[in-house]
């Protein structure tokens, strides 16, 4: 009894293997570029949420709130961070007697050559106002 072998063999060719490897490397590089932004966003969200625990934050002015945030960022290990004082929004709503504290910013990270990744973050809390 004689078995026949088909003319085509199954499996990955060098071309398909190199394409799959290039896609995997691209996803890995994108993940590496995005990780610091998400780490920073997590620490910033933690700092803003901790403001809600302070009962006097509702009567504080914007520069005082920014100073508190900077201290909390330092405690989290963020010594250089993306958001600036201009990104902080402090608004008081007379109808609800609540103060809205929001920090909205863009994180930009270079990927390779002239290609960058831009991520947009918005962290917001509401506290009792004066």
Tens digits of residue pLDDT in 66-96: 999 988 888 888 877 888 889 999 988 888 8
Provide Rg for the chain, Cα atoms: 25
Q: What pLDDT is recorded for position 2?
A: 62
| pLDDT at position 7 over 70 | no
Task: Please provide the size of the chain in residues.
Answer: 130
pLDDT value of residue 80: 78
Judge contact between 103 and 85, C-beta under 8 A: no
Token pair listed for 59: 């009567």
- Prediction pTM value: 0.78
Is the separation of the CB atoms in 93 and 58 below 8 Å?
Answer: no
Across the beta sheet with 115-128, what order do the strands follow? 88-93, 98-112, 115-128
Q: Is the pLDDT of residue 125 over 80?
A: yes
Looking at residue 58, its pLDDT comes to 82
pLDDT band at 18 (very low <50, low <70, confident <90, very high): very high
Q: What's residue 93's pLDDT?
A: 83
* pLDDT value, residue 127: 86
Residue-level pLDDT at 3: 61
Distance separating alpha carbons of residues 124 and 52, to the nearest angstrom: 10
Report which of residues 7 and 31 the model is more confident about. 31
Instruction: Select from 19, 68, 23, 26 the least CA-distant residue to 48.
Output: 68
Give residue 98's pLDDT.
87
Q: What is the mean pLDDT of residues 21-44?
A: 93
């Amino acid at each position: 009894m004689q078995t026949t072998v088909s003319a085509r063999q199954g499996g990955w060719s060098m071309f398909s293997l190199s394409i799959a490897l290039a896609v995997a490397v691209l996803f890995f590089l994108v993940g590496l570029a995005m990780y610091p932004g998400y780490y920073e966003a997590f620490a910033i969200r933690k700092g803003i949420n901790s403001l809600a625990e302070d009962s006097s934050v509702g009567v504080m002015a914007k520069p005082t709130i920014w100073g508190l945030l900077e201290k909390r960022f330092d405690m989290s290990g963020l010594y250089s961070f993306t958001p600036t004082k201009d990104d902080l929004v402090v608004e008081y709503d007379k109808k609800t007697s609540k103060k809205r504290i929001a920090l909205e910013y863009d994180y930009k990270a270079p990927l390779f050559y002239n290609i960058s990744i831009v991520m947009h973050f918005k962290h917001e809390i509401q506290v009792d106002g004066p």
